[in-house]
Structure 1
Amino acid sequence: MSKKILICDDSGIARKQLSRVLPKEWDAEVAFAANGQEALDHIKQNPTDILFLDLNMPVLDGYQTLEALQGVANAPKVLVVLGDVQAQAVQKVTALGAIDFLKKPVSQDVLQKAIEQHGLFGSGAASGLVVSGSAADDFSLNQCLQEVSNVAMGRAASVLADMLNVFVKLPVPKVNILEVSELQMALSYSSMNTERCSAVTQGFVGAGIAMEALLIFSDSSFPDMAKLLNVSEDIDRALEVELQMDISSVLIGPFIKALGDQLNIDFSYSHPVVLGQHIKVADLINVKRAQWKRTLAVEIVYEVDNYKISCDLMLLFTEDSLPVLENLLSYLVEDE
């Protein structure tokens, strides 16, 4: 009997990527949902055997969807597709009933092995795999960059989580083309606009792409940052710089490495430097106003569960990097 499959991800690119690696000979029908609520509505109205589920989504995320499925009769088998590979994320989804997890971007061999291991694969239908509807419509540079940033974000959070034995909350990355005057408004984490903050900046270049990574810390984060790093002495400015450098090396380095791997680029980089300490976001932006003009900005807000730690990572690409990025990211949407 043909399997009924639902792919649930807020990224049309991720939906398309996953649908492309499903075995063409699989006796299965594929449908799509853009968030957890859409998935639940579909499952309640249509028999569904297998759900490939993303975690970081608006409306209803993967964790909430798994919780809701526990009250649904004949719920599908759930394989979680993780950009976030933190050990605690895996434990959470397993406890909520997921039978397996697949790391983004999913390879054909890994997916084939998983569905065979769980007895989900079957062939025999004359038409093989049938896809109902489209994974997505047209794609933009912003959408492509958001998806590779989502994967890179998960890699960086995993390193931080393993190092500190914590769970890092992750948002959906925001991608926008901005004028320098709009950068302050782009910092969506509200306390960043009212509290004083400190920041580390680092430059990266490679294959015609130039960008600056800007990691902004709310000043209220320093006590818990010190606690997590087992620092017991009084926090002075020198120690704050040390804490900033330790955390930024963990969040920026793995993020850029994962981004470069997806773009097939080895980025060269400058030494990280402190951009400012105990200043307002507006003043922080003014420090770089002469260098930043029109930029493609990727924004990610990291929060550590059960700790008062928040930091805002912004990648600021130069305007002349955009055509190169668009060309490099085109592989995400190319048809086979």
Structure 2
Amino acid sequence: MSTRVLICDDSKIARKQLARILPTDWDVEVGFAEDGQEALDILSSSTFDILFLDLNMPVKDGYETLEALQFYEQSPAVIVVSGDVQPRAIQRVKDMGAIAFHKKPASAEDLRNLLISLGLFSVGGDLQKTVIEQPTAAEQFTLNDCLQEVSNIAMGSAASVLAEMLNVFIKLPVPRVNILEVGELRMALDYSVKEDSCSAVSQGFVGSGIAFETLLIFSDSSFPDMAKLLNVTDAIDSIVEVELLMDVSSVLVGPFIAAFGKQLNIDFSHSHPVLLAQHAKVSDLVNAKKAKWKRTLAVEIVYEVENYQISCDLMMLFTESSVSELENLLSYLVEEE
């Protein structure tokens, strides 16, 4: 009898990758859901044995899905597959009923061993996987799709480092990837920062024909809680604020770029981080760089610290000349074996 597997992830790339690395000698039927709510709708009308569940998704995320499944009479065994590798995230999902956690990107060998250890799969004949529902537009992957998934994995690595340093839990969003004109960039920042003033640190990176700038923007209201978490007891003046900005920037940006570059097999060279603005309006921040940012491929991630008033916006702003090279490097994500 076939094992019925449901893969729930908002990323088309992630759904395809996970389906592709399931054991080939497993009698399995595979279905797909694009978010937690769709997975719950499917499970309310059809029985599945295993649910592979992402955490960071729109509509209903992995945590909300796990919570809802506690009220289902028949719920599948849940294996969380996520780039969020914070120890607290792993413990939370297990406390909520997940039987295992597997980090992204998953490999066929690691996933096979996990399934065997959980007693969900045993070595059998050369059976063929059956896909019972293809991901939406299965082969029409865009640069945005690929870049979002790579950024999602890098985001989780960076958050884990910051979470360990501060002993906190970092709430992670779905990365946003867009081609932005300078006016759209201002609107994106206005939406994320939501404050009259902000401070920002920028840093340049280059490698293998790809050039981009990271921009880490802090709402000025974040400084008191940032100082508290970093055990800063001095009065918070402009000098202390710059030190806080640089400390958090190095912890967030460094691990993010390292994880991003590892997936592309690139060791990026970088400039020193510089203070771009302090207590500035978003409009002033954009005006200061608009000659360079007329049109850019942008990745945006908004980090929030649970139970603290700390929010920072990390943006990667790629040069137009980098786009074609990114497309080539990221094409491996959708290549068939």
Range class of TM-score, shorter chain: over 0.9
The match for 1:318 is 319
Q: What letter corresponds to residue 197 of structure 1 in structure 2? A: C
Moved over 6 A (4+): none
Q: Measured at CA, do residues 188 and 15 of structure 1 come closer, stay the same or move farther in structure 2, by a change above 3 Å? A: farther
Q: Which moved more, 1:127-136 or 1:294-303?
A: 127-136
Q: What letter corresponds to residue 40 of structure 2 in structure 1? A: L
C-alpha distance in 2 between matches for 1:47 and 1:53: 16
The match for 1:113 is 113
Deviations 1:256-279 (A, max 9, x none): 011000111000000000001001
Asked if the contact 1:189/1:312 (under 8 Å) is kept, the reply is no
The match for 1:207 is 208
Aligned to 1:276, the other structure's residue is in SS state strand
Aligned to 2:299, the other structure's residue is in SS state strand
Map 1:105-184 onto structure 2 (within 5 A).
Answer: 105-122=105-122, 124=124, 127-137=127-137, 138-184=140-186
5+ residue gaps, structure 2? none
The match for 1:305 is 306
Map 1:134-283 onto structure 2 (within 5 A).
Answer: 134-137=134-137, 138-187=140-189, 189-190=191-192, 192-283=193-284
The match for 2:56 is 56
C-alpha distance in 2 between matches for 1:111 and 1:194: 44
Q: What letter corresponds to residue 149 of structure 2 in structure 1? A: E
C-alpha distance in 2 between matches for 1:194 and 1:240: 17
Q: What letter corresponds to residue 70 of structure 2 in structure 1? A: Q
C-alpha distance in 2 between matches for 1:173 and 1:249: 20
CA shift for structure 1 position 126: 6.6
Deviations 1:42-100 (A, max 9, x none): 11211110000000001110000000111111210000001100011011101000010
Aligned to 2:222, the other structure's residue is in SS state helix
Asked if the contact 2:195/2:219 (under 8 Å) is kept, the reply is no
Aligned to 1:306, the other structure's residue is in SS state coil
Asked if the contact 1:198/1:277 (under 8 Å) is kept, the reply is yes
C-alpha distance in 2 between matches for 1:82 and 1:134: 21
C-alpha distance in 2 between matches for 1:241 and 1:42: 50
C-alpha distance in 2 between matches for 1:56 and 1:228: 25
C-alpha distance in 1 between matches for 2:96 and 2:190: 31
Q: What letter corresponds to residue 4 of structure 2 in structure 1? A: K
Asked if the contact 2:26/2:127 (under 8 Å) is kept, the reply is no
Q: What letter corresponds to residue 184 of structure 1 in structure 2? A: R
The match for 1:4 is 4
C-alpha distance in 1 between matches for 2:216 and 2:277: 11
Aligned to 2:6, the other structure's residue is in SS state strand
Aligned to 1:121, the other structure's residue is in SS state coil
Q: What is the TM-score with the length of structure 1 in the denominator?
A: 0.97
C-alpha distance in 1 between matches for 2:158 and 2:136: 28
Asked if the contact 1:27/1:122 (under 8 Å) is kept, the reply is no
C-alpha distance in 1 between matches for 2:48 and 2:194: 45
Q: Which moved more, 1:131-140 or 1:325-334?
A: 131-140
Deviations 1:222-256 (A, max 9, x none): 00000000001101111100000000001111110
Asked if the contact 2:28/2:129 (under 8 Å) is kept, the reply is yes
Deviations 1:166-208 (A, max 9, x none): 0000110000001122211112645x24320000000000000
The match for 1:85 is 85
Asked if the contact 2:24/2:127 (under 8 Å) is kept, the reply is no
Number of matched residues? Answer: 335
Q: What letter corresponds to residue 166 of structure 1 in structure 2? A: V
Asked if the contact 2:211/2:322 (under 8 Å) is kept, the reply is yes
C-alpha distance in 2 between matches for 1:282 and 1:59: 31
Aligned to 1:171, the other structure's residue is in SS state coil
Q: What letter corresponds to residue 302 of structure 2 in structure 1? A: V
The match for 1:35 is 35
C-alpha distance in 1 between matches for 2:219 and 2:316: 18
CA RMSD of aligned residues (A): 1.2
C-alpha distance in 2 between matches for 1:214 and 1:161: 20
Q: What letter corresponds to residue 98 of structure 1 in structure 2? A: A
Asked if the contact 1:53/1:81 (under 8 Å) is kept, the reply is yes
Aligned to 1:68, the other structure's residue is in SS state helix
5+ residue gaps, structure 1? none
Q: Which moved more, 1:173-182 or 1:159-168?
A: 173-182
Q: Measured at CA, do residues 43 and 122 of structure 1 come closer, stay the same or move farther in structure 2, by a change above 3 Å? A: farther
